Structure 1
Amino acid sequence: MIESLSLLLTQLPLFELYLAAFTAAALTCFVSIRRARRIADRDTRRSLVALLATSGLWAAFHVGYLAGPTASIQYGFYMLGLIVGLATVGPWLYFCSAYTGRALHHNRTYQKIAVAIYLAIVAVKLTNPVHELYFAATVTTDPFSHLMIQHGVIHWLSMGLAYSLAVVGIFMLFELFAQVDYDTRPFVVLVGLTALPVAFDIAGFVYPQLVDLTYSALGVALFAVGVLYIYMDRFETIQLAGRYDDPVVVIGDDLEIRDYNRSAETLFPELGAALGENLKQELPDLAASITSETVIERQQDGETRYYQPKTNPFSASQAKLGQLIIFNDITEQERYRKQLEAQNDRLESFTGMVSHDLRNPLNVAQGNSQIISELFEAANNEDGSYEPLGTETLATVDDASSALTVTLARMERLIDDLLVLAREGQSIEETEPVPLKTVADDGWQMVDQRDATLVVEENPTITADPDRLQQLLENLFRNAIEHGGTDVTIRVGALADDTGVYIEDDGPGVPEEIRDEVFESGVTTNRDGTGFGLAIVSKIATAHGWTIDCTESESGGARFEITVEPTE
Structure 2
Amino acid sequence: MDYLRLETFYIGVLFLSSAVNVGVAVWLRTRSANEQAVRLFTVLLLLHPIVGLLVVAELLAPSQSLAHVFYGVHNTTLVAINVVWFVFTLAYANRTRILSRPVVGLIVGYFVGTATLEVTNTTHRAVWRSYRVVTDPFPYVEGEPTLLFLVLTTIMTLFHLAGIGVLGYHLLFGPSRSSRRTATLLVGFTMPLVILVLWGLGMVPGPLNGAFIVGSTVSLSFVAWAVFRHQLFDVVPLARERVFEELDEIVLVVDPDYHLLDYNQSAKRAFPELVGATGSPLVEVLPHLLDDGESFTDSFTTYENGRLDEYTVDTSQLTVDASIRGYGVIIRNVTERQQHIRDLEQQTMQLERFASTLSHDLRNPLNVAQGWIDVTIESGDLQHLERSQSALGRMDQIISDLLTLAREGRAIDDHELARVRIVDVFEDAWETTTTTGARYELELDADVVLYADETRLRNVFENLVRNAVEHGSAKSRSGSDPPVGSGGGAVTITLGRLVDGFYVEDDGPGIPLDQHQRVFDYEYTTAKSGTGLGLAIVESIANAHGWTVTMSNGPDGGARISFTNVELVDAEVERPTTS
TM above 0.5? yes
Kindly tell me the number of residue pairs found equivalent between the two proteins: 520
Letter in 2 for 1:199: V
Shift of residue 22 of structure 1? 3.9
Residue 159 of structure 2 corresponds to which residue in structure 1?
Answer: 162
C-alpha displacement at 1:507, in angstroms?
3.6
Does the aligned pair in 1 maintain the 2:316–2:329 contact within 8 Å? yes
Which amino acid in the other structure matches residue 536 of structure 1? I
Structure-2 residue corresponding to 1:82: 75
Instruction: Give the RMSD, CA atoms, in angstroms.
Output: 4.5
Contact 1:180–1:262 at 8 Å: present in 2 too? Answer: no
**Which amino acid is 1:327 matched to?**
I
Return the offset for 1:84: 1.3
* Cα distance change on mapping 1:15 and 1:260 into 2, 3 Å: same
1:236/1:157 CA distance change after superposition, 3 Å: same
- Give the equivalent residue in structure 2 for 1:188: 183
Deviation at 1:335, TM superposition (A): 4.6
Is residue 447 from structure 1 mapped to residue 454 from structure 2 by the alignment?
no
- Mean CA deviation greater in 204-213 or 422-431: 204-213
Change beyond 3 A, Cα 1:339–1:505:
closer
Deviations, residues 373-406 of structure 1 (Å, cap 9, x unaligned)? 36865x6xxxxxxxxx7xxxx6xx84x6444433
Aligned pair partner of 1:463 in 442, 451, 454: 451
Mark the CA change 1:547 to 1:84 in structure 2 (over 3 Å): closer, same or farther. same
Residue number in structure 2 paired with 1:321: 324
The CA deviation at 1:193 is: 0.6
d(CA) in 1 for partners of 2:523 and 2:278?
A: 51
Describe the SS at the equivalent of 1:248. strand
The amino acid of 1:194's aligned partner reads F
Match of 1:179 in 2: 175
Match of 1:346 in 2: 350
Say if 2:15 and 2:52, in contact at 8 Å, map to a contact too. yes
Q: 1:436 aligns with which of 414, 417, 421?
A: 421
Q: 2:419 & 2:434 partners in 1: Cα distance? A: 24
* Counterpart code for 2:510: V
Rounded to whole Å, the distance in 1 between the matches of 2:259 and 2:158 is 38
Answer yes or no: is the 8 Å Cα contact 1:452–1:481 preserved in 2. Answer: yes
Which residue number in structure 2 is paired with residue 274 of structure 1?
Answer: 281
CA contact (8 A) 1:140 1:146 kept: yes
Deviation at 1:365, TM superposition (A): 4.6
Counterpart pick for 1:201 among 161, 176, 196 = 196
2:543 is matched with 542
Give the corresponding residue for 1:383. none
- Following the alignment from structure 1 to structure 2, what is the Cα–Cα distance between the partners of residues 135 and 170? 36
Contact 1:354 1:418 in 2 (8 A): no
Give, in whole Å, the separation in 1 of the partners of 2:545 and 2:207: 75
Match of 2:311 in 1: 306
Please point out which of 101, 104, 123 is paired with 1:111. 104
Q: Percent identity?
A: 24
Tell me the CA shift for residue 420 of structure 1: 1.9
Offset of 1:114 from its aligned partner?
A: 1.4
Q: 1:64 to 1:104 in 2, by over 3 A?
A: farther
Take 1:531 and 1:488, find their aligned partners in 2: how far apart are those partners?
20
Q: Give yes or no for contact 1:180–1:259 (8 Å, CA) kept in 2.
A: no
Name which of 381, 387, 395 aligns with 1:411.
395
How much has 1:83 moved relative to structure 2?
1.4
> Could you tell me how far 1:223 is from its partner in structure 2?
5.9
Q: Distance in 2 between matches of 1:59 and 1:444?
A: 96
Instruction: Please name the residue that 1:53 is paired with.
Output: 46
Give the alignment partner of residue 235 of structure 2, picking from 234, 237, 241: 237
Change (3 A) 1:366 1:155: closer
The answer for the alignment partner of 1:9 in structure 2 is none
Q: Deviations over 1:344-389 (max 9, x none)?
A: 2333344345455x16xx3355256446636865x6xxxxxxxxx7
- Listed one character per residue, the Cα deviations across residues 306-344 of structure 1 (whole Å, up to 9, x for unaligned) are 22414346332xx33356444252626555444433332
The CA distance in 1 between the partners of 2:461 and 2:406, in whole Å, is 17
Residue 367 of structure 2 is aligned to residue 366 of structure 1:
yes
- CA 482–62 in structure 1, closer or farther in 2 if over 3 Å, else same: farther
Other structure's SS at 1:261 match: strand
Distance 1:463 1:18 in 2: 84
Unaligned runs of 5+ in 2: 245-249, 474-487, 574-579
- With over 3 angstroms needed to count, the CA separation of the structure-2 counterparts of 1:283 and 1:372, relative to structure 1, is closer
1:133-188 deviations in Å (ceiling 9; x for gaps): 77886544555554456777536623441223312542575479x4374x762553
Contact (CA 8 Å) 1:241, 1:259: kept in 2 or not? no
Matches within 5 A, 1:21-170: 21-35=13-27, 37-38=29-30, 39-41=32-34, 43-64=36-57, 75-101=68-94, 103-104=96-97, 107-122=100-115, 125=118, 138-142=132-136, 145-147=139-141, 153-154=150-151, 157-170=154-167
Q: Which amino acid aligns with 1:165?
A: A
Q: Distance in 2 between matches of 1:517 and 1:453?
A: 27
- 1:63-103 CA-to-partner distances (Å, cap 9, x unmatched) read 44566677665554443232111212333344344445555
* Per-residue Cα deviation, 1:23-46 (whole angstroms, up to 9, x for no partner): 333223334444455554453454
Task: Identify which range, 502-511 or 408-417, moves more after superposition.
Answer: 502-511
- 1:177-225 alpha-carbon deviations (Å, 9 max, x no partner): x4374x7625531442122222222222234455573537446644664
Question: Match of 1:115, as an amino acid?
Answer: V
CA distance in 1, matches of 2:130, 2:294: 66
Deviation at 1:112, TM superposition (A): 0.8
SS state at 2:320 partner: strand
Q: Rate the CA distance shift 1:104–1:25 in 2: closer, same or farther, 3 A.
A: farther
Change (3 A) 1:227 1:79: farther
Checking the alignment, whether the CA contact within 8 Å between 2:73 and 2:115 is kept in structure 1 is: no
Counterpart residue identity of residue 198, structure 1: L
Q: Contact conserved, 2:493 with 2:507, CA < 8 A, in 1? A: no
Decide whether aligned partners of structure 1 residues 463 and 101 sit closer, same or farther in structure 2, where only a CA change above 3 A counts. farther
TM superposition score normalised by structure 2: 0.72
Conservation of the 8 A alpha-carbon contact between 1:458 and 1:493: no
Give, in whole Å, the separation in 1 of the partners of 2:562 and 2:70: 89
Whole-Å separation in 2 of the counterparts to 1:14 and 1:450: 119
TM-score, normalised to structure 1, is 0.74
